[in-house]
Amino acid sequence: DAGVTQSPTHLIKTRGQHVTLRCSPISGHKSVSWYQQVLGQGPQFIFQYYEKEERGRGNFPDRFSARQFPNYSSELNVNALLLGDSALYLCASSLERGTDTQYFGPGTRLTVL
């Protein structure tokens, strides 16, 4: 079975632009979570979606938004990019909302110039 997939692999943007990152969960998984990982740090929780609804949100500004589609795939959108948004963005999927074990995708490396 395919694991969690993310696209694109790498992305370079300039300040002020916006970006859309995509994630497909493991088949049968209904919950998707997004994380931001800056160099030298552990991943920081951004959002969790379950059954197309936001179920949790981390301490990130409103420039960050996400959604989940009927097929359980998800998009993360970031508007008005700042240099500090440069990071590895990880998507993780789990079976259900309350399932603790999350499986991660390979991530999208975003560089903001």
Partner 1 sequence: EDKVVQSPLSLVVHEGDTVTLNCSYEVTNFRSLLWYKQEKKAPTFLFMLTSSGIEKKSGRLSSILDKKELFSILNITATQTGDSAVYLCAVYGGATNKLIFGTGTLLAVQP
Closest distance of CB 16 from partner 1, Å: 27
Query: Binding partner 1 by CB under 8 A: which of 57, 64, 67, 75?
Result: 57
Closest distance of CB 68 from partner 1, Å: 16
Q: Tell whether residue 28 is a contact of partner 1 (CB under 8 A).
A: no
Question: DSSP secondary structure string, 60-86?
Answer: --TTEEEEE-TTS-EEEEE-S--GGG-
Positions that interact with partner 1 (CB under 8 A): 3-4, 33, 35, 40-45, 48, 56-58, 88, 90, 92, 98, 100-107, 109
